[in-house]
């Protein structure tokens, strides 16, 4: 067996990775919508959005946005995308504990892994809320409710993999094992 094979790449990038990317884009669009930029308004907006000369760009509600305010909103969306990836990585780390056993069978006794979950979350909090990060990394503070839209995606990843592992245990050597057991 190779360390990295086609099934691992398919699971990591083709399945779980797509759910993670969807979480990031979903949070991005949620924040844009909450600030007046519906997805239909965003299409074809890049040239005006990035123009420093445009200080009266209208959103979907007719509000005008200056260049500076647009960039703050954009960088806030980038921060939220990053945080959403951290949130879905919680599930990703937990599902990678075992290849066949359920996390309910295995438990969460690995204190190094538990520390890693807490550490990555605290790091995201630190990067999002520390004063000066807007200058250094262009990361802006998020409202608490902007952390929440990624949670269903994290739950989806967890349930998806628990179902996959259940089918692996129930049908050893079956199609699921041939296609997804890495």
Rounded Cα distance between 146 and 86, Å, is: 13
pLDDT of residue 3: 82
pLDDT band at 1 (very low <50, low <70, confident <90, very high): low
Rounded Cα distance between 1 and 139, Å, is: 42
N- to C-terminal Cα separation, the chain? 9
Q: 116 pLDDT exceeds 80?
A: yes
Rounded Cα distance between 96 and 93, Å, is: 5
Instruction: Over range 110-133, report the average pLDDT.
Output: 96
User: Is pTM, for the whole model, over 0.85?
Assistant: yes
Among the listed residues 104, 108, 101, the one whose alpha carbon sits nearest the alpha carbon of residue 181: 101
pLDDT one-digit tens code per residue, 2-61: 788 888 899 999 999 999 999 999 999 999 999 999 999 999 999 999 999 999 999 999
């Amino acid at each position: 067996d190779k360390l990295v094979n086609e099934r691992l790449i398919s699971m990591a990038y083709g399945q779980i990775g797509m759910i993670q990317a969807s979480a990031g884009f979903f949070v991005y669009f949620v924040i844009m919508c909450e600030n007046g930029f519906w997805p239909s308004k965003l299409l074809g907006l890049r040239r005006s959005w990035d123009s420093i000369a445009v200080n009266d760009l209208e959103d979907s509600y007719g509000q005008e946005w200056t260049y500076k305010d647009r960039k703050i909103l954009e960088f806030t969306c980038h921060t939220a995308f990053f945080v959403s990836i951290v949130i879905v990585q919680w599930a990703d780390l937990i599902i990678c504990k075992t290849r066949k056993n359920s996390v309910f069978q295995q438990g969460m006794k690995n204190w190094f892994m538990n520390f890693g979950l807490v550490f990555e979350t605290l790091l995201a909090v630190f990067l999002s809320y520390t004063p000066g990060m807007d200058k250094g990394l262009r990361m802006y503070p998020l409202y608490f409710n902007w952390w929440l839209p990624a949670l269903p995606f994290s739950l989806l990843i967890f349930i998806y993999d628990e179902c996959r592992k259940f089918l692996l245990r129930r049908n050893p050597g079956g199609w699921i094992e041939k296609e997804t057991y890495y």
